[in-house]
Chains A and B, each alone.
Chain A
Amino acid sequence: MSVDELLLQALNGLSFGALLFVLASGFTLVFGLMHIVNLAHGAFYLVGGYVGIITVTATGSFPAGIVAGVATAAVIGLASERLLLRRVRGKELPEVLLTVGIALVVGDACLAAFGGNPRSTPVPPVLSESVRLGSITYPTYRLFVLSLAVALGVLLYVIQHRTRLGALIRAGVDDREIAESLGIDVPRVFTATFVFGAALAGLAGVVAAGLLTLRPGADTDILLFALVVVVVGGLGSLQGAAVGSVLIGLVDAFSKALVPELSYFAVFAPMAIVLMFRPSGLFGRSGT
C-alpha cells in the first residue's frame, strides 16, 4: 500500500466509523438508561433511510430528507415504547424479544413499501464534489459525515454533562428508584430517551443512504456493526461508542481493501478479542 492509498483507506475508515457513531450512540444511550438492547435499531435505521431517500427525491432538499427520516424513525420508536415495551418494563428478555418482533415487522414493512432494489440518496450538489487533500482527492460527502459525527458527539457530551436533561438521564442510569423518589418522572425520561435513540438511528439511515446503498437485509447488516461497536466499546458508554466506531470503521475499511472475502470476519475479530480479555468492553462498567 502506498502512502496515498493508506491515507485514503484511513479516511474511508474514519468516515464509515463516523456513520457508525451516529448509529451506535443512540443504541448505547438507550441501553445505558433503560437496559434495553434494541435489536430494532437496524430496522429504524433502514426505515429512516428509505423515507429520507423518498423525501430527497421528491423535494430535492437534503435537509428535508433528514427531517423526514428522523421524524419517521422517532414516531415508530415512540409507538414501540409506548404501546409495547412499556408493558414489560424491567424484564430484560421479554424486552429484547419484543424488539426482535418489531425489527421483523418494520423490516418487512420496508420491503413492502420500498421494494427490493438497492437505493441511495441523491447527494446535494454542495456535498457531491471532491476536495483535494494533499496528494489525494476525497468526496466532500464523506467529510460531511465525519464532521456531523464530531458535532453530534460534542452535542451528546454537552447534553449529558451540562444540561438538566442530561442530569435526569444520568440520575436514571445511576439509581432509578432514588431518582423516582426525588420526583423525576423516570418513565417519561425513558420514553424520551428511546425516541431519541430511534431518531439517531433514523439520522444514521438518511446519512448512510448517501454513502452506502439501502436494500432489504441492510438492517441486519448494520445491526451487526452497531452490536460490535457497543460490545467493543462497552454497553451504555458514549466514549466507548466513539472509540469502538473509529476502531471498527478502520478495521472494516482496511480489511475490505486487503482481504475482501474475510471482511465480515475482520469486523468480528476485534469483538472476540475484546470479549475474551474484557467481557464488559473497553469502557464498560463491569457487572452491568
Chain B
Amino acid sequence: MSTARWAGATALGAGIAGVVAAPYVLPSYVVSLLTLVFIAALLAGSVNLLAGLAGLVSIGHAGIAAAGAYGVAWATVHGLGLPAALGVAAALTLAVSVVYALTTMRTTGIVFLMITLALGITVFGLALKLSSITGGQNGLTGIRRPAVVGEWWQFYFFTAAVYGVCLLALAALSRSPFGLLLRGIRESESRMTSLGYSVTAVKFVAILVSGVFAGCAGVLLAWNSEFMSPSAASFSRSALAVVMVIVGGTGTLLGPLAGAGIVVAAEYWLSSYVERWPTVLGVVLIAVVLYAPRGIVGGLEDLAGQRLHRPRKEGS
C-alpha cells in the first residue's frame, strides 16, 4: 500500500470510530448537532452530485428535500404506516424531481441555476399556500419518527448509517461510467452529443438520482424535527446547501460533509451571539467565492497533491 492509501485507510477507520463513539463521549446536544450535520451533508451531497460531476449548480434543491419531508410528514399525520409513509415520500420526491428534470434538462450553467431557483421558490410558495395539505405557515405537527429510532441517540446512529450508505453510493456513482458521462457533459456537451450520447436524457436521469438523495435528506429532516414548515423549502435553505458544497469543495466526496459541519456549527454557535445569521452566511459565501474557490477539501487535496509530488488532481 502506498502512503496515501495508508493515510486514507487510517483516516477512514478513525472517522468511523469517531462517529460510533460520539454518543458515548459527547453531550447530547452535540450529538443532535451531528445528526443535523449528516442530514445537511446528505442534501449538500445531492447538490454536489450535479454540481461536481455535471457542473450543474442547483439552488433549489431544498424544494426536492421538502417534497420528501412533506410526503412522510403528511402520511404520518394522516395515520399511514411506515411503509406507506415512505411510499408517499418517495412518490412525491420523484414527482417533484421529474418536474425539476423536465424543466432543466435542456439547460446549462446559469440558466440551470436560475430555473432551479425559480422551482425552489415555487415549491416554497405551494407549501405556504396549499394550507389544507401542508398546514401553511403553521406547518405540520405531530409527526412521530419510527419507534425503533425514537431516542435521540438511536436516531443519530440511524442518520449516520443512512449517510454512510449514501456516501458509498455517491462515491460509486462518481466512479461509474455514468459519472464519467456526467463529467464529459460538464467538459463539452457538443462532444458528448457527437459521441452519440443523449445529453438531455443523461441529465434527466442525473437530476432524478440527485433528487433521490435530496428526498432521503428530507425524510430524515422531518423525522429529526418531528415538525415540517415551508421554511424547509425556502431560498435560504437551498442557498445554504450550495454554500456547504462550495465551502467544502465542489466535486470532492467529503467536501459537503466538511461544509455542512462548518455551516451547522457556525449557525449554532453564531446564532447565540449574532442575530444576523443570513448576513454571516452571505459574507461567508462571498469570501469563499473570492478567496477559496476550491473550498476546504479541494484546497487540502491540492496541498496533499503537492506534498506527495503527484501531478495536481484534475480541477472540478
* Interaction A to B: yes
Residues in A lying within 8 Å of B, measured CB to CB: 35, 37, 39, 84, 87-88, 92-94, 96-98, 100-105, 107-109, 112, 220-221, 223-224, 227-228, 231, 235, 260-265, 267-268, 271-272, 275-276, 279
Tell me which of B85-93, B164-172, B256-264, B281-289 binds A. Answer: B281-289
- CB-based contact B113/A231 at 8 Å: no
Cα–Cα, bound, A231→B117 (Å): 12
Interface: B278 (CB within 8 A): yes
* CB-contacts of B278-310 with A (<8 A): 278-279, 281-286, 289-290, 293
How many angstroms from the CA of A84 to the CA of B283 in the assembled complex?
A: 11
Let me know if A97 and B246 touch, CB within 8 A.
yes
Shortest C-beta distance, B200 to chain A (Å), equals 10
Is B44 in contact with chain A by the CB < 8 A criterion?
no
Q: Are B118 and A227 within 8 A (Cβ)?
A: yes
Cβ contact within 8 Å between A88 and B118: no
Q: Which residue of A lies closest to B129 (CB)?
A: A261
Residues of A near B128 (CB, < 8 A) are 264
CB-CB under 8 A from A92, the residues of chain B are: 109-110
State the majority secondary structure of interface residues on A. helix
Q: Is the interface of B mostly helix, strand, loop or mixed?
A: helix
**B interface residues with partner A (beta carbon < 8 Å):** 57, 59, 99, 102-104, 106-107, 109-111, 113-115, 117-119, 121-122, 124-126, 128-132, 234-236, 239, 242, 246, 275-279, 281-286, 289-290, 293
Q: B118 near A224 (CB under 8 angstroms)?
A: yes
Asked if B285 and A231 sit within 8 Å, CB to CB, the answer is no
> How long is the Cα–Cα vector from A96 to B285 in the complex, in angstroms?
11
| Contact A94-B122, Cβ < 8 Å, known A37-B110, A104-B278, A276-B102 | no
Q: Is the CB of B290 within 8 A of A265?
A: no
Known: A104-B279, A276-B102. A96 touches B110 (CB 8 A): yes
* Number of A-B residue pairs at CB separation under 8 A: 128
24 residue pairs A–B, Cβ–Cβ below 8 Å:
A88-B289, A93-B113, A94-B293, A96-B110, A97-B289, A101-B283, A101-B284, A101-B286, A102-B286, A104-B236, A104-B279, A105-B283, A220-B124, A220-B235, A224-B122, A224-B125, A227-B118, A235-B111, A261-B131, A265-B122, A267-B122, A268-B119, A268-B122, A271-B115
* Contact call B130/A109, Cβ cutoff below 8 A: no
Cα distance, A100 to B106, chains bound together (Å): 23
B103 contacts which of A100, A112, A224, A272 (Cβ < 8 Å)?
A272
Nearest CB of chain B from residue A247's CB, rounded to whole Å: 15
A93 close to B122 (CB less than 8 A): no
Q: Which residues of A contact B283 (CB under 8 A)?
A: 101, 105
Residues of A within 8 A of B282 (CB): 100-105, 108
Q: Given known contacts A37-B110, A101-B285, A271-B103, is B126 in contact with A264 (CB within 8 Å)?
A: yes
Chain A minimum-CB-distance residue to B279: A108
A264 touches B109 (CB 8 A): no
Provide the bound-state CA to CA distance between A192 and B103, in Å: 33
Known: A100-B59, A224-B118; 7 extra A-B contacts, CB below 8 A, are A84-B286, A93-B110, A107-B278, A108-B279, A261-B129, A268-B118, A272-B103
